[in-house]
């Protein structure tokens, strides 16, 4: 925006940015590029890649001994399978219509990648909470991935086709309403809009479910570094250390035999110092009061299983003042295979910057670093499970899923509005139900595709083409 006084005359300020009317017109013109009804079309490409081959290509960069656990967790249901298939859907979405209007994408906006976590003010907020695949791209892609996950979730809990359509319609309608609200708001109001986790309670039906939510919310508030400290550590011969629980939790002392060049304390210290260069000066003052104690490989999630993810323990004034940081491997975003590459040279930074852009409140410990020299590995850092909570989709009824789906739709709109053009996007969707019905048609068709891919995946496991192994105490966690 110009700040030159000579650019103003007769009391009128000349704008270098498009006006509201021009942005609305951009949205209307985008309908010519991609008619709203065209979003309902889904037909797999004739040369569509074998889904097992796509997953196997991902497995090739992961820790081999953890890959069977990934396959096991994905094999629980079509819904859990879908959680690990962002790479497959990226190729499929590349052939679908889009308006040409872009926003920062989550890149993997399925239902389970929304949830509660702690804000810097120590209140629990609700937001998109997974950014491994974040990248600028067509805003419709996130919405379609969310919508298809709702169909699969609805089928998983036994809802009928009409009920599922109502859920998906409702979620997309809430996205549209949220975007219209953001379009009518000032830029500052869009930036400040925050959704407290208590909003989830408002969409839960029944006293027993509300009571269960209240109990879960209290539990999430207790989920912090001190709780992790009690669960994950032990003292042996007077020495504090992270306990061993392979293959889900493997301390560095046990990893040295397998990865001697990457489990060395000097490598860890160098990575930590690099991380410190990526966070603010005030946070470094806080970190000055903590000393590194131990680190362990920790298995998390479904799609992420097999990537190098560590829990790092630091101690402050005493053992009642622990700090657990998660150090998670950042690879190229799966949608980079079909979209322009990230502007950031380091994928850890790509993840962190994307998260900060989409969330109203982000973890103060977000930062990035690289791994051992010549390893080619990159990481991002954050707190481990800081007041983190997620909805139990499997236990929802139709009313609960419908309300939660709407909350996710609104949240995604707010996240997209921070980097995209909410005025143009809202105008593109319009006031009719044309776009809403199209997204639901796509979601149904793509859920059918995901179930067909899941059948191929299960056959590959049953035939031995893919390995699958259930470790003890291996629930599907996010």
pLDDT digits (tens, 9 = 90+) for 289-335: 999 999 999 998 898 999 999 999 999 999 999 999 999 999 999 99
> Cα separation of 152 and 451, whole Å?
8
pLDDT digits (tens, 9 = 90+) for 33-83: 999 999 999 999 999 999 999 999 999 999 999 999 999 999 999 999 999
Q: Which residue has the higher pLDDT, 262 or 213?
A: 213
> Cα separation of 246 and 254, whole Å?
9
pLDDT digits (tens, 9 = 90+) for 396-437: 888 889 999 999 999 999 999 999 999 999 999 999 999 999
What's the CA angle centered on 453, arms 333 and 354, to 5 degrees? 20
Q: Measuring CA to CA, how many Å separate 458 from each of 51, 72, 330, 364, 444? A: 11, 10, 28, 41, 21
Tell me which residue of 315, 324, 322, 327 sits closest to 267, measured CA to CA. Answer: 327
3-state secondary structure of 354: helix
Stretch 232-250: mean pLDDT: 94
Q: What is the pLDDT of residue 395?
A: 81
Name every residue whose Cβ is closer than 8 Å to that of residue 226 and which is 6 or more positions away in sequence.
Answer: 320, 322
Name every residue whose Cβ is closer than 8 Å to that of residue 278 and which is 6 or more positions away in sequence.
Answer: 349, 352, 367, 368, 369
Q: What is the pLDDT of residue 259?
A: 63
Percent of the chain at pLDDT > 90 equals 75
Tell me which residue of 279, 422, 361, 343 sits closest to 134, measured CA to CA. Answer: 343
Backbone angles phi, psi at 312, to 5 degrees: -110, 125
Q: For residue 235, list its beta bridge partners.
A: 240
pLDDT digits (tens, 9 = 90+) for 96-118: 999 999 999 999 999 999 988 88
Stretch 450-469: mean pLDDT: 96
What distance separates the 2 farthest-apart alpha carbons in the chain?
81
């Amino acid at each position: 925006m110009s700040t030159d006084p000579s650019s103003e005359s007769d009391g009128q300020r000349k704008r270098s940015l498009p006006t509201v009317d021009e942005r609305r017109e951009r949205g209307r013109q985008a309908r010519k590029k991609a008619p709203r009804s065209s979003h309902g079309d889904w037909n797999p490409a004739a040369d569509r890649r074998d889904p097992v081959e796509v997953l196997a290509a991902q497995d090739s960069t992961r820790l081999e001994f953890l890959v069977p656990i990934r396959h096991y967790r994905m094999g629980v249901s079509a819904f859990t399978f879908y959680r690990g298939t962002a790479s497959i859907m990226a190729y499929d979405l590349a052939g679908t219509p889009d308006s040409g209007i872009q926003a920062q994408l989550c890149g993997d906006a399925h239902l389970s990648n929304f949830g509660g976590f702690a804000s810097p003010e120590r209140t629990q907020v609700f937001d998109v909470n997974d950014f491994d695949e974040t990248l600028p791209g067509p805003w419709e892609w996130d919405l379609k991935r969310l919508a298809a996950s709702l169909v699969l979730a609805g089928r998983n809990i036994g809802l009928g086709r009409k009920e599922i359509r109502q859920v998906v319609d409702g979620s997309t309608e809430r996205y549209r309403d949220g975007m219209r609200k953001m379009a009518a708001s000032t830029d500052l109001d869009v930036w400040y809009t925050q959704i407290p986790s208590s909003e989830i309670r408002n969409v839960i039906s029944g006293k027993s479910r509300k009571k269960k939510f209240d109990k879960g919310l209290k539990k999430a508030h207790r989920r912090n570094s001190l709780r992790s400290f009690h669960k994950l550590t032990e003292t042996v011969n007077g020495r504090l250390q992270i306990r061993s629980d392979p293959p889900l939790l493997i301390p560095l002392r046990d990893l040295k035999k397998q990865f001697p060049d990457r489990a060395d304390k000097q490598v860890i210290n160098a990575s930590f110092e690099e991380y410190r260069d990526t966070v603010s000066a005030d946070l470094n003052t806080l970190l000055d009061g903590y000393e590194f104690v131990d680190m362990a490989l920790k298995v998390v999630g479904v799609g992420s299983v097999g990537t190098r993810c560590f829990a790092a323990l630091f101690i402050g004034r005493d053992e009642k003042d622990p700090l657990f940081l998660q150090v998670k491997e950042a690879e190229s975003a799966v949608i980079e295979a079909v979209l322009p590459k990230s502007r950031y040279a380091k994928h850890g930074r790509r993840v962190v910057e994307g998260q900060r852009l989409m969330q109203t409140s982000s973890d103060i410990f977000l930062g990035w670093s690289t791994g051992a020299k010549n390893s080619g590995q990159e990481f991002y850092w954050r707190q481990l499970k800081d007041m983190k909570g997620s909805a139990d989709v499997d236990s929802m009824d139709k009313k609960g899923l419908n309300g939660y789906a709407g909350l996710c739709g609104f949240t995604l709109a707010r996240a997209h509005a921070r980097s995209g053009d909410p005025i143009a996007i809202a105008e593109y969707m319009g006031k009719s139900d044309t776009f809403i019905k199209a997204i639901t048609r796509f979601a149904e068709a793509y859920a059918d595709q995901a179930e067909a891919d899941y059948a191929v995946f299960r056959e590959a496991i049953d035939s031995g083409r893919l390995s699958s192994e259930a470790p003890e105490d291996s629930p599907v966690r996010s």
